[in-house]
Amino acid sequence: MQRATLIQRVSSSDKEFHFQNWVGSRLDDSGHQHDSAGRNSYPDFTLVYHPEGYEVKGLAWPGREASYDSNSRVPSGLHNGRTIYYVFGRYPRGNTDPVYPVVDLVLCHGDFLNADHSYVHENKSFRGFGSYGDLLVRDRKMYVAPTPFALTNGTTGQATLIAPAELSDELTSDSRLEHVGELVRAETDQVVIGYTFDLRANILTPSLAPNPSAGAQHSFIAYRCKGVGSGAVSMRDLVSVAEQIGESLWLGDDE
């Protein structure tokens, strides 16, 4: 971003992978060898000599930027023994030029989005639906998560790293970085442990249980490259986040 390296659209039909290609090229520039198992793999990139991976989320701006869809994958900071970081980048919407800039970028640890590492996603199905009892119903879940742009103040127009506080000694000692904010997320009182769907009434009902780690705080620190950008980064309150993404984040709230 400092060098004004632009995103290059391969074709007019490329609506998804142009930013992912930009991130891959930046990894090449960094000298870190990396693998990509394919366009629909998770994460999008994995480092070869370090147990770390990167999941890329490009967001058109202005547009839907407060939340994103995660098909069959719950955000997490750990996957197959690798630390996972999410790369959120916004780019101009409706730009017909073949090249265009990255407006702002957040590289955030997956635990900032969801700190639970225990849940394993699986698609399930059953047969017996329909008048002849031979239709298959697939339970293929999509998860919708708030982006760091919705969760924080001070990331608009900036390039920001959000990392767990336990890495602060290592990152603070890096002369290239400066500390620009402390972020804390607290675990909810109840967690969803299941759901039922009434096919006659078309009603989806979650099942809740007390969260054994309710109130537990997860601390993160925001960094920027020294001399680049301005202002502090802070957490938004839950009400503001809910208003921005246009839906309630409280479990069981039907509003």
pLDDT at res. 39: 67
**149-179 pLDDT, tens per residue?**
999 999 999 999 999 999 998 888 889 999 9
H-helix segments, the chain: 18-30, 148-151, 168-172, 238-245
Q: Residue 246's pLDDT is what?
A: 65
Confidence of residue 233 (pLDDT cuts 50, 70, 90): very high
Residue 92 vs residue 251, higher pLDDT: 92
Task: Express each pLDDT in 70-89 by its tens digit.
Answer: 887 899 999 999 999 999 99
In-domain check, residue 31:
yes
Query: Is 206 contained in some domain?
Result: no
Determine, yes or no, domain membership for 16: yes
Assess if residue 191 is contained within a domain.
no
Task: Return the DSSP state at 76.
Answer: -
Total structural domains within the chain: 1
From its phi and psi, is residue 215 left (phi > 0), alpha (psi between -120 and 50) or beta?
left
98 within domain boundaries: yes
Q: Does residue 117 belong to any structural domain of this protein? A: yes
Q: Is the pTM of this model over 0.85?
A: yes
